[in-house]
Amino acid sequence: HHIHQSYKAIKKSNNKWGIFLFDKDKIIGVCEVMEEEEDGITFLLIVYTFIDEEYRGKNLCYEIVKRTILKNKKKGKGSMIIKVVIAGGEPILKCLIKVFNELNYKIQKYKSDKKENIKQLKFITSEEAIKIEKKNLKTDMWQTLFFVPKT
């Protein structure tokens, strides 16, 4: 059901795209993304990543996110910042950290917890991101992270 919503959203949109994962003729996963702009800075937003429950625990999240980022690079957008709002907790965060470490990206977050300003970001470690996520789980907060290519 979730995957079909992504499929419909991508089909209707000019700025959304994604990668779907199949098992024979069944769609079992999706990584939906879209290009957005905030204060003159264009970035790729990972809108939604989902793997069907019976296929979890097989590194499929890692594969689908990695292929999505590599496809974005092939489109000539390798220097683009990737924005993610972590709403799925520690498992998706660890998946993203693994992908972006391997692809040579660094993690940033908003400098201020009170005011979101894409022009004022600070670098954090993956350990700090996981620590924040564990704290956020208790308070039902979402964490916004930016993955920036190392230069």
Phi-psi region of 24 (alpha: psi -120 to 50; beta: other; left: phi over 0): left
User: From the CB of residue 50, how many other CB atoms can be counted at a distance below 10 Å?
Assistant: 22
pLDDT digits (tens, 9 = 90+) for 26-70: 889 999 999 999 999 999 999 989 999 999 889 899 999 999 999
The span from the CA of 6 to the CA of 148, in Å, is: 25
- The model's pTM is 0.88
Write the DSSP string, 97-119. HHHHHHTTEEEEEES-SSS--TT
16: which residues sit within 8 A by CB, 6+ positions away? Answer: 9, 10, 32, 33, 34, 47
Residue with tokens 């022009």: 119
Residue type at position 120: Q
pLDDT digits (tens, 9 = 90+) for 3-34: 777 777 777 778 889 999 999 998 899 999 99
CA angle 141, 85, 126 (to 5 degrees): 90
Task: Report residue 80's pLDDT band, with 50, 70 and 90 as the boundaries.
Answer: confident
Task: Report residue 1's pLDDT band, with 50, 70 and 90 as the boundaries.
Answer: low
**Mean of the per-residue pLDDT values for the chain?**
90
